[in-house]
Amino acid sequence: MNSTSIRIMSNNQWARNDNNEIWAARGEDCSAEVREQGFIEVYRKTAPDIIGFQEVTAKMLDLMTRGLNKDGAEPSYAALWGRDTPILYRQSRFELVNSAFGIYPAACPGYEGCFNNDDTKSWNIALLRDKETGKCVIICTTHLWWKSDDPISKDYQPGSTAARVYQCSLLVDEIARFRALSGADCPAVLVGDLNCPYDSEPIRYLQAHGFAHANDKAEWAYPYHGYHWCGDDGWEPYVPKPFEEAIDHILIQGPMQVTRFDRYIDDSYLKLSDHFPAYIDAVIE
């Protein structure tokens, strides 16, 4: 069978449905209606085959899917619901073979406290088959726990790193289950807001279990972190920092050649979300 070229994206959209007084006072609008139009323009420009999301509300997903498919536009996308972590895929190119969704436990073994705020930390996984080549790919999108183990952090909560590692262990088991069902030659791509930098225990845990970071596999990789401030109290310009400080990651397990690991960076995106989209161009042999 022929090889399959594919573009896979990860995007945290900042889960907010309505405008607020601070943005309105600045003559700006952070509502889902306004921001989703911006996201739609980004996806039209970049044309990803599959997008794994984080921080997407039901309203945002509805606006996005309807907007992308308006008036028979191509490429058209099908949505796989997953609470805050849905998946979009090109429905003319891929068929959904299998899927699963889960919300991470609030508890972390060995630590006190809650490690899932409002059940927003979840994962969503899909096995997709290319209709033309028959090649399959597993896509898993996730949003891990967000607080810090650093006592000087304003977001300090003991056990936060251990919680992220624990959540990664659940992902590793679920992806292994999917690969066992689909065959060892089916690559798995894990995307998401992992809320930890490159040199961190959760990333090392994934690497120890057979995942390679797209930055390390790619023939070319964007060298900066792709994050700026955008939230309830406004937004700030993007100041690039080293890649190692990034918290949005793409990791690969199994046979896949990565030609490019990139992030969509544009001033027009600054008012949409704090996370610039990350994406890979890859080939499944």
pLDDT at 227: 98
Q: Report the run of H or E that residue 217 belongs to, with start and end.
A: helix 214-217
Q: Are 243 and 249 in contact (CB under 8 A)?
A: no
pLDDT at 3: 81
pLDDT in tens, 27-67: 999 999 999 999 999 999 999 999 999 999 999 999 999 99
Q: Are 226 and 12 in contact (CB under 8 A)?
A: no
Q: d(Cα 102, Cα 200) in Å, to the nearest integer?
A: 24
Q: Please, what is the average pLDDT of the chain?
A: 96
Q: Which two tokens stand for residue 21?
A: 């007084």
pTM of the shown model: 0.97
Delimit the domains of the chain by residue range.
Answer: 4-284
User: Under CATH, to which class is 4-284 assigned?
Assistant: alpha beta
pLDDT at 97: 97
Report whether pLDDT(1) > 60.
no
% of the chain surpassing 90 pLDDT: 95
Report whether pLDDT(110) > 70.
yes
197 preceded by cis ω (within 30°)?
no
In sequence order, the 6+-apart residues with CB closer than 8 A to the CB of 136 are 97, 127, 128, 129, 130, 182, 183, 186
